[in-house]
């Protein structure tokens, strides 16, 4: 078949076109490969630093569970255990094992286990009261320096003066290792412990609960107000210069640095209203202010996406504007609103600066019981840990970062899943 002029021109240019397309494709693949590589490097470095933070070294010792000494009042109450001699019994056990004699040796031996071992023993007794007055093998956590030794951060060949462990301690630790008393397991302190100066006892439980409470407050305040605002602005507000101004301002607020909200919170909630610092209530309020613009903007988009034919259908049947909006438009916009809210929440979860401004940095050992108890949040906890020198804090910090990242990924993934699941075909 004879070729038309167009065909001739196209065919002659075909090679060049295909070459260009191929190059473009390779360029794209290359770019993706580089970003994947960077991502991989990032993830590997986080993982390699953080995963060890999930584990801890334990030492198992044989303890004589003398009831009268451990539980003088005999009722296993906290007061009784406090008055008991748990610490002494543990020290006796370790001294016996190490055969320490001199004062220096004894001092060295006593420092091998974690300071919280007595609490641990008390917990053990409470959970195993039938084993009182017997000899049992109890697992204890090593002191963070001892733990660091086994991880290889404290080396024998460093001069003794520059080490945190002296030679005697190292000798004892080696002995424990050789007798099989040392084990490596998942750290229960990380998740169930709270802030502590002792690196081995430090955990994220308090910060995690503080984050949860703060986010809860943020959601309770920001979601209803944000959704209601969006509904009002989209459906009911008259279209004039004033509402235009509001819209511009909301859009701008979304771009304001979060620190500014912290300063605002400091000035208004803490100074003006006199609310206490460092409580999830105030933290939640500040984060709510920060998240509101995001929620309003995404909710407005969700409302705009509801097709006018639905509104026409409702109006045509005699529904009032309020009924049309509440019964039809809003339910159809909820998926989009929720998605935007979850993304806003995920953002709030990772915020540090505004919360620092309102003082949620207190060293808080107790776990907050409610929104008016002092607490801290996970990113702030990470920030604080980053300051401490002990090697173990480095690992725990990385581990906490991993936990935070996982939560963020879950929340964002949840938002995507929710959006897909609730997508309706009108």
Partner 1 sequence: MEDNIETIVNCSNVSVFYGDNKAINNITISIDKKSITAFIGPSGCGKSTFLRTINRMNDTIDGCRMEGTILVDGQNIYDPSIDVVPLRAKIGMVFQKPNPFPKTIYENVAYGPRIHGLASSKSELDDIVEKALKGAGLWNEAKDRLNESGTGLSGGQQQRLCIARTIAVEPQIILMDEPCSALDPIATSKIEELMADLANNYTIIIVTHSMQQAARVSEKTAYFHLGNLIEYGNTKEIFVRPKDPQTEAYISGKIG
Query: Which parts of this chain interact with partner 1 (CB under 8 A)?
Result: 239, 309-320, 323, 327-328, 332, 424-426
Quote the CA–CA distance of 112 and 141 in Å, as a whole number.
9
Q: Which is nearer to partner 1, 5 or 425 (CB)?
A: 425
Q: Which is nearer to partner 1, 159 or 318 (CB)?
A: 318
Intra-chain end-to-end CA distance of the chain, in Å: 48
Tokens of 158: 């460093």
| Closer residue to partner 1 (CB): 251 or 323 | 323
DSSP state of 324: I
Q: Which is nearer to partner 1, 339 or 397 (CB)?
A: 339
Instruction: Quickly list DSSP for 332-360.
Output: HHHHHHHHHHHHHHHHHHT--HHHHHTTT
Q: At closest approach, how far in Å is the CB of 304 from partner 1? A: 16
Q: How far is the CB of 313 from partner 1 (least distance, A)?
A: 4
Nearer to partner 1, 225 or 233 (CB): 233
Shortest spacing between CB 223 and partner 1, in angstroms: 23
Q: Considering beta carbons, is residue 185 or 313 the nearer one to partner 1?
A: 313
Concatenating the DSSP letter of every residue in 52-109 gives: GGGEEEEEEEEEE--HHHH-TTSS--HHHHHHS-HHHHHHHHHHHHHT--SHHHHHHH
Task: Report yes or no: 231 and 330 within 8 Å, Cβ to Cβ.
Answer: yes
Minimum gap (Å) between residue 280 Cβ and partner 1: 39
**Least distance (Å) from partner 1 to the CB of residue 320?**
5
Place of tokens 């003082």: 359
Q: What is the 3-state secondary structure (H, E, C) of 130-189?
A: HHCCCEEEEEEEECHHHHHHHHCCCCCCCCHHHCCCCHHHHHHHHHHHHCCCEEEEECHH
Residue 130 CB, shortest distance to partner 1, in Å, is 57
């Amino acid at each position: 078949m004879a070729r038309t002029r167009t065909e001739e021109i196209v065919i002659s240019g075909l090679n060049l076109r295909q070459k260009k397309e191929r190059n473009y494709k390779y360029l794209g693949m290359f770019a993706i490969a580089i970003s994947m590589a960077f991502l991989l490097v990032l993830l590997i470095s986080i993982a390699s630093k953080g995963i060890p933070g999930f584990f801890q070294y334990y030492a198992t010792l044989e303890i004589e569970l003398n009831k009268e000494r451990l539980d003088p009042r005999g009722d296993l109450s906290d007061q009784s255990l406090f008055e008991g001699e748990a610490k002494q019994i543990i020290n006796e056990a370790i001294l016996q094992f190490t055969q320490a004699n001199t004062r220096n040796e004894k001092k060295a031996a006593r420092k091998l286990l974690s300071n919280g071992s007595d609490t641990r023993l008390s917990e053990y007794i409470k959970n195993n009261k039938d084993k009182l007055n017997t000899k049992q093998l109890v697992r204890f956590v090593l002191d963070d320096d001892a733990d660091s030794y086994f991880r290889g951060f404290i080396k024998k060949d460093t001069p003794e003066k520059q080490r945190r462990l002296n030679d005697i301690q190292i000798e004892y630790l080696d002995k424990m290792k050789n007798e099989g008393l040392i084990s490596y397991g998942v750290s229960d302190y990380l998740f169930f412990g709270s802030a502590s100066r002792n690196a081995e006892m430090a955990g994220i439980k308090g910060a995690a609960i503080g984050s949860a409470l703060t986010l809860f407050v943020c959601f309770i305040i920001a979601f209803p107000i944000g959704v209601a605002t969006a509904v009002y602005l989209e459906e009911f507000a008259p279209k004039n210069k004033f509402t235009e101004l509001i819209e511009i301002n909301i859009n701008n607020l979304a771009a304001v640095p979060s620190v500014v909200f912290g300063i605002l919170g400091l000035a208004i909630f803490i100074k003006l209203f006199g609310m206490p610092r460092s409580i999830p209530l105030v933290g939640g309020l500040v984060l709510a202010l920060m998240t509101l613009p995001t929620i309003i903007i995404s909710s407005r988009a969700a409302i705009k996406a509801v097709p006018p034919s639905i509104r026409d259908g409702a109006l045509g049947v005699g529904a009032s504007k309020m009924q049309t909006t509440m019964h039809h438009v809003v339910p159809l916009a909820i998926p989009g609103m929720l998605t935007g809210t979850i993304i806003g929440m995920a953002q709030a979860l990772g915020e540090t600066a505004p919360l620092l401004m309102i003082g949620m940095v207190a060293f808080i050992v107790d776990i907050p019981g409610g929104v008016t108890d002092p607490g801290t949040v996970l990113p702030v906890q990470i920030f604080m840990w980053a300051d401490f020198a002990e090697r173990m804090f480095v690992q725990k910090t990385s581990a906490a970062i991993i936990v935070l990242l996982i939560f963020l990924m879950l929340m964002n993934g949840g938002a995507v899943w929710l959006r897909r699941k609730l997508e309706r075909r009108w």
